Amino acid sequence: MKRRTTLAGIALGALMAVAPLGTAWAADPIRIGYAIARTGIFAAAAPSQENPYALWQEQVNAAGGMELPGGERRPVEFVSYDDQSNPANTVRIYERLITQDKVDLLAAPWGTPMHLALAPVLQRYKFPMVGNTAASVQLRKVAPGYIWFVTSAIPDSMGAEMAAMLKANGMKSVAVLANELPYAQEFRSFLLPALKEQGIEVLVDQSYPPDAKDMTSLLVEVKGKSPDAVLALTYPADAFLFTGQARELGLASPFVLSLIGPTIDAYRKAFGGAADGIVSSAHWSGQSDMWPRGKAFFDAYVAKFGEEPDALDSAVTWMSMEILQQAVAKAGLDHEKLREAIATGTFDTINGPVKFDGVQNAMTPTGFVQIQNGKIELVWPPAIKTADFKPKQGW
Amino acid sequence: MVDTLLSGQLLFAALVSGSLYALVALGLNLVYGTLRLLNIAHGDLVMIGAYVAFWLFTLLAVPPVVALVVAAVLCAVLGWAVYAGLFRRMLAKPALARRVEANSLILFYGISVILQNSAALAFTASPRAYRWLDTVITWGGVSMTLNRLLTLGVAAGLCLGVLAFLRFHLFGWGLRAVIQRREAAQVVGVNIERVQLATICAGFAVAGMAGVLVSMTEQITPFMGFPFTIVAFVVIIVGGLGNIGAGVLAGFALGLVETYGIALTSAGYRSILIYGIFVAVLMVRPEGLFTRAVRT
Amino acid sequence: MKGIWPTAGVVLAGLALAAPLSGNAYLTGVAFQIAMWIALAQSWSMLSATTGYVSLGHAVFYGIGGYVAVLLVDAAPFPLVLLVAALAPAVFAAVIGLPVLRVRGPYFVILTYGLSELVRHGVMRIESALGSFGRMIFSAPSPEALLWWMVALAVAATLGAWAVRHSRFGAGLAAIREDEVAAETLGVPTARLKLLALIASAIIPGAVGGLAMMRTGYFEPGQAFDPVVSFTIVTMALVGGTDSVRGPVMGAIGFALLSELLWSSFPQLYMIVLGAALIGFVLFVPQGLSGLVDRIAGRRA
C-alpha cells in the first residue's frame, strides 16, 4: 500500500516538475501558442498552415519584432503541440497553453472540428483567437465573442455562388459526386437547392466514402450522362483519385470542379497540364494585382519552401496572422482590449480589407479559382477575378 | 446499366485495384503464415516504398521501375533488422511467445508509430506526388493510363512469381511446410529460423514494391499506410490466414467486389460492403472462403 | 482480497488528488485523461485479460455511447443520458456477442477491429443521410463536473474488474483462457460466461464515450469511433500488466504521465519515443508495470 502511494507521489512530482518549465521563460519575447495535427489523418494538410506560421515569425522577427501600442517591438516565439488530429486533444492543449504555459497570444489549429471544439474554451478563459482553416455554417451557431473566422468559403454562400457561376457560364446540367466527410456533405446540401433555383439539372448525385480506392464505376456513369459540369466535392486524397481516373476515362465535360485538393502544390506536380482547367475552392490568388501584400507573401513563401502556398489554407492562415498583428499593434496584449480591437477593426490583408460581423468575415467575397497554365487564377466572382473562366480543353 | 457492367473499363479498373490488393496482402500473409505475427505496420512499408520512388524520381530522375528494386532491398533490410532485433528475442522467450498475437500487435504498433513519425520528421507531412508514364492509351474501347497498366502487370507478375516459387522451389516447399505443419517441418529438417528470416524479408520487400506502384497514382504522405494494412487484412481473412494462393485470389475478388459493387448499388455503400463481407466471413467461415483446410 | 486494497488506494488517491486540482484547468485535463483510460482499460480487461480474447474494437462501445449521449444530451437529464449511453453498447454487445465470441485467437482480434470499423462507416452513412455534418454540443456540463463523473467511472470499473476476477464467474473465465475445450467438457457454460464478460466490458466504455464527447464539445463519427482508442486501450492494459487489477491502473497512469512529459519535452519526437517505449516494454518488461513492481518488491523482501 505504502509503495503504491509512493509511486503515485513520484509520478505526480514528475508532472509538477515539468509544469514550471513554461513560466520560467524570460518575459521578453511574445509567446504565441497553437496546436496542430502533426500526426494522424489531418497531418498531410497541416504544413499548409504551419509553414505560413514559420514564415510569419521569420518576417516579424527580421523586422525587429511584433509592434505594440507606442511603437515598442518584441520578438515572437511559438509554443506548439501535436493534437494528433483529435479535437479532444486540441481542447486539452489550448487549456494547457492558456493556464499552464501562460502564452501571450493564441494562433489557430488546423481544421473545422478543432475550431468548433475550441470556441467554448476561448469563451471560458476570455482569450481571443483569430481562426483560419475552418468553414462550416455551424460557425454561426458559435456565440460571437472570442473567436472569428477569416474564410469566406462557407458552404451556404459557396452553394449559391457555384450555381451562379455555372449559370453565368451557360452550364445546364451537372453531376455531383460528394465525399461523405462533413464539409463536402454540407456543401452538397446547399448546392442542390441552389442548382434547382438556377434551373440547372442534376443528372447524377452520388456520395462516396473517404477511403474509396476506385472511382471508375462512378465516372463511367457520369460520362454516360454527358453533363455540362462535373462537380466532385473532394478532399485532398480523393482529389488525386478523381483526377487520375477522370483523366483516364477522358471525361469530356467543359466544367470540372474538384473542391479541395487542386490548390495544393503536389496536385499540380502530379497532373501537370492535365490539371489545367480544373476549378477549385479558394478566394485568394497569388496572381492578383488587387492586393499588393498578396504577391509579396506568394514570393516569400515560394522562396522559403520551394513550393507555392495553398491558395486556400495558407492564405487564410496568413490573413489570420495579419489581423492578429494589426490588432496587437493597436490594442496590445490585454485580452479584452484585443478582443475589442479584432471585433471592431478593419484589417489590411493579402485578400483585401477584412472586417468581422459577429464571428464571420463580412468583406471577402466567396470565390472559386481555376488552374490555368499551371497557375491558380481567381475566376469567380467577377469583382475580384484575375482571369476569365476557360472551358476545360481535354486532359 | 448492363452496358456499363459489361464494359472492359470496369474490368480493367477492378483488375488494377485487385492486383494491388493481392500484392499488398501477399506480403502480410507470408509474415502471418510463417511467423504468426499480426503485422499492423505492413502498410507503413508501402509508404516507405512510395517515398523511395518519389525521392529517386524527383532528385535523381530514376524511373520507378528501378525504384522497385531499391525499395525491395531497403524493406528487406528493414525486415531483417526487425526480425533479428526484435522478434527473434520475442519468439525465444516462452512467456512472450505464448501470447504472440497480443505481443506482436503491440510491437508492430510501436514500429508503425516510429516509421510514420520518422517519415513525417524527415520529409514533413506535406503531400508529395510526381508524374511518370501517364499517357492514356485506348485499346478495344478501354482507356488505360500506362502507369496503371504497368501496376497491373507488375503486381500480377509478382504474385504469380511468388506462387510459382512456393510451388516449384525447394525453399518454397520448406516455407509452405512451416506454414502448414510447423513441428513436422522441423522434424524433417527444415531450418525454421532461416525460413522465418527469409519470409519476413520477402514479405517486407513485396510491400515496399507495392508502395512504388502506388506512388505513381496517389499522393504520398507519411500517414498513407494504414488503409493498406486494413485492406491487406481484409484480403487475407477472406482468403484464409496463411493460405498464400487463396489470398491472391481474394485480392482480385475484392477488387471486383469493390468496382462492381459500387456500380450495382451506390458508392456510399463501398466501405460498409467491404467491412460487411469481412465481418461476415470471420463469423461464418474464419478459415477463409477459398480454403478447404480443416480448422485447427 | 490482497489485490483490491492497493488498487482502490491508488484510485482513491486519484480522487483525493482531483479535488484540489479542480481549480487548475490543465491538471483537471490530465486527471480527466487518466481517469478515462483507467475506466477503459479496466473494462477491457474484464473481457480480454480474463478470457484471453483480445479485443481490438473497444472503440465501438466508446463510439456508440458517445453517439447516443450526443443525440440525447439536450433532451434528457444528464445522469439519464449517461445511463442510456452505457446501456446502448451493452445491448449491442448482447446482440453480436454469440457469433463473435465463437471466433478465436487472431481471428477474434481482427474481427473486433472490423466490427468497429463497420459500425463507424454505418454511423457515417446514417449521419450523412440525416443531413448532419458534425454536431456541436452546447449543453455540456462543466469540465470539473465531467471530471467527477469520469473518476466515478474509473472507480466503478476498477471495482468491477476486481469483482469479476474474484468471483466464480472470474474463475470460469480463467478456465476459458487456460483451455476452453477442457473447460467446456468439465461443464463450464463457456458461451454464456464469455457473453456476460463481453457485455460487462461494454457498459462503462459507453458512458466514458459520452463523457469524452461532452468534454470535446463536438461530435463526428470519424473521430468518435477512432481506432486509435482501441489501440491505446490494449497498449495501456498490456504496459500495465494483465495479471492483476492494478495493472491497467498503472498502465493508464504511467502512459498518460509519459505522454505529458514527452509532449512538453520532445514535441517533435514525442510519437517516436512513445513507439520505442512500447517496444521496450513488450521485450523487457513482459509482465507489465505491475509485474515489475512485484519483482522489485519480491527482491527486496
Looking at this predicted complex, what is its ipTM?
0.93
Kindly determine whether residue A271 and residue B131, on different chains, have CB atoms separated by under 8 Å: yes
Share of chain A above pLDDT 90, in %: 82
Of A238, A242, A168, A232, whose CA–CA distance to A205 is shortest?
A: A232
Q: Does residue A165 share a domain with residue A143?
A: no
User: Cβ(B34)–Cβ(B27) under 8 Å?
Assistant: no
How many other CB atoms are there within 10 angstroms of residue B198's CB atom?
20
Which chain A residues are closer than 8 Å to C144 by Cβ?
A: none
Contact: B268, A215; criterion CB under 8 Å: no
In a shared domain, residues A34 and A168: no
User: Which of A109, A68, A253, A70 shows the shortest CA–CA distance to A176?
Assistant: A253
What is the reported pLDDT for A20?
41
Contact A207 B263 (CB under 8 A): no
Phi, psi of A354 (to 5 degrees): -125, 135
Q: Which helix (H) or strand (E) holds A54?
A: helix A47-62
Average pLDDT rounded to a whole number, residues B29-43: 91
Residue among C131, C216, C222 whose CB faces A117 most closely: C216
pLDDT at residue C7, as a whole number: 63
Check residues A293 and B186 and name the one with the higher pLDDT.
Answer: A293
Q: Mark yes or no for CB contact A141/C134 under 8 Å.
A: no
Say whether pLDDT at A373 is over 90. yes
Write down the mean pLDDT value for chain A.
Answer: 91
CB pairs under 8 A between B and C: 117
Answer yes or no: do A145 and A270 share one domain. Answer: no
Would you say residue C4 has pLDDT above 90? no
CATH of the domain at A57: 3.40.50.2300
pLDDT band at C301 (very low <50, low <70, confident <90, very high): low
Q: How many CB atoms lie within 10 A of CB B280?
A: 15
Task: Say yes or no: A148 and A163 in one domain.
Answer: no
Structural domain tally of chain A? 2
Q: Which of B86, B96, B275, B291 to mutate to test the interface with C (most CBs of C within 10 A)?
A: B275
B96-145 residue pLDDT tens = 777 777 788 889 999 999 999 999 999 999 999 999 999 999 998 899 99
CB–CB contacts below 8 A, A to B:
131
Domain-by-domain residue ranges, chain C? 4-300
pLDDT given for residue B295 in this prediction: 41
Q: How far apart are CA C42 and CA B119, in angstroms?
A: 34
User: Looking at residue B291, what is its pLDDT?
Assistant: 72
A268 with A168, same domain: the answer is yes
pLDDT at residue C11, as a whole number: 64
- Structural domain contains residue A38: yes
A-chain residues within 8 Å CB-CB of B268? 180, 206-209
Helix, strand or coil, per DSSP, at residue A88: helix
Query: The domain containing residue A80 runs over which residues?
Result: 22-153+291-361
Look at residue A27 and tell me whether its pLDDT is greater than 50: no
List strands edge to edge, sheet with A255-258.
A201-208, A173-179, A229-233, A255-258, A278-281, A368-372, A375-380
- Lowest-confidence range among A233-237, B189-193, B253-257, C88-92? B189-193
What pLDDT is stored for residue A3 in this prediction?
47
Set of chain B residues whose Cβ sits within 8 Å of the Cβ of C283: 86, 89-90, 96, 107
Q: How many Å lie between the alpha carbon of A288 and the closest alpha carbon of chain C?
A: 33
pLDDT confidence of residue A42: 84
Residue B166: pLDDT over 70: yes
Nearest to A92 among C29, C134, C222 (CB): C29
Dist. CA B174–CA B70, nearest whole Å: 27
Give a yes or no: residue A1 inside a domain.
no
**Closest chain C residue by Cα to residue A112:** C134
Domain boundaries of chain B, sorted by first residue: 2-123+135-284
Q: Give contacts of B 211-250 with C, CB under 8 A.
A: 230, 233-234, 237, 241
Residues A216-219: contacts with CB within 8 Å, 24+ apart? A216/A245, A216/A248, A216/A249, A216/B9, A216/B10, A216/B12, A216/B13, A216/B259, A217/B4, A217/B10, A217/B13, A217/B259, A217/B260, A217/B262, A217/B263, A217/B267, A218/A177, A218/B262, A218/B267, A219/A245, A219/A246, A219/A249, A219/A251
pLDDT digits (tens, 9 = 90+) for C114-172: 999 999 999 999 998 898 888 999 889 999 899 989 999 999 999 999 999 999 999 99
Q: Where is pLDDT greater, at C112 or B286?
A: C112
Give residue A280's pLDDT band: very low, low, confident or very high (50, 70, 90).
very high
Nearest by CB to residue C115, choosing from B99, B114, B279, is B279
Residue A333 DSSP class: T
Continuous H helices in B36-145: 42-60, 64-82, 88-92, 94-97, 100-123
Q: Are A155 and A190 in contact (CB under 8 A)?
A: yes
pLDDT mean over A201-227: 94
Give the pLDDT confidence score for residue C8 in this predicted structure: 60
**Lowest-confidence pick of A72-76, C166-170, C192-196, C242-246:** C242-246
A220, A265, A270: residue with CB nearest B4: A220
Q: Which of A310, A334, A360 shows the shortest CA–CA distance to A130?
A: A360
pLDDT at residue B293 above 80?
A: no
Residues A147 and A176 in one domain: no
Residues A30 and A105 in one domain: yes
pLDDT (tens digit, 9 = 90+) per residue, B228-280? 999 999 999 999 888 999 999 999 999 999 999 888 888 888 999 999 999 99
Do the beta carbons of residue B51 and residue B64 sit within 8 Å?
Answer: no
A92-112 confidence digits (pLDDT tens) = 999 999 998 999 999 999 999
* Cross-chain residue pair B109–C54, CB shorter than 8 Å: no
Q: Does A180 sit within 8 Å of C223, measured CB to CB?
A: no
Instruction: Count CB atoms within 10 A of the CB of residue A380.
Output: 24
CB B110 to CB C109 under 8 A?
no
Helical axes C270-284 vs B100-123, angle rounded to 10°:
160
**Cβ contact (<8 Å) for B96 and C235?**
no
C-beta neighbour count of A386 within 10 angstroms = 18
Interface A–C counts its CB contacts (< 8 A) at 118
Q: Which of A206, A266, A272 sits opposite B266 (nearest CB)?
A: A206
Inter-chain touch C24–A99, beta carbons under 8 Å: yes
Instruction: Please list the alpha-helical segments (H only) found in A198-291.
Output: 216-225, 236-249, 265-271
Point out the residue among A41, A217, A236 whose CB comes nearest to the CB of B10.
A217
A95 closest CB neighbour out of C6, C26, C268: C26
The answer to whether residue A16 sits within a structural domain is no
C-alpha cell at B45: 512499408
The whole-number pLDDT of residue C21 equals: 62
Which of C247, C221, C195, C241 lies closest to C59 in space, CA to CA? Answer: C221
Strands A278-281 and A255-258: parallel
Block residue for cell numbers 464467474: C169
pLDDT at residue A5, rounded to an integer: 46
Per-residue pLDDT reduced to its tens digit, A235-273: 988 999 999 999 999 999 999 999 999 999 999 999 999
- Mean pLDDT rounded to a whole number for chain B: 91
Res A23: pLDDT: 41
- The angle, 0 to 180 degrees and rounded to 10, between the axes of the packed helices A2-23 and C246-265 is 20
Grid coordinates of B118 = 520518422
Q: Is the pTM of this model over 0.90?
A: yes
The region of weakest confidence among A18-22, A158-162, C69-73 is A18-22
Check residue C138 and give its pLDDT: 86
Q: Which of residues 321-380 of A touch C (CB under 8 A)?
A: none
- What is the structure's pLDDT at A115? 94
Query: What is the secondary structure of B69-95 as a DSSP string?
Result: HHHHHHHHHHHHHHIIIIIHHHHHSHH
* Closest by CA position to B165, among listed B210, B191, B202: B202
Any domain includes A13: no
Per-residue pLDDT of B39-90, as tens digits, reads 999 999 999 999 999 999 999 999 999 999 999 999 999 999 999 998 888 8
Chains that touch A (3 or more CB pairs under 8 A): B, C
> Which CATH architecture describes the domain B2-123+135-284?
Orthogonal Bundle (1.10)
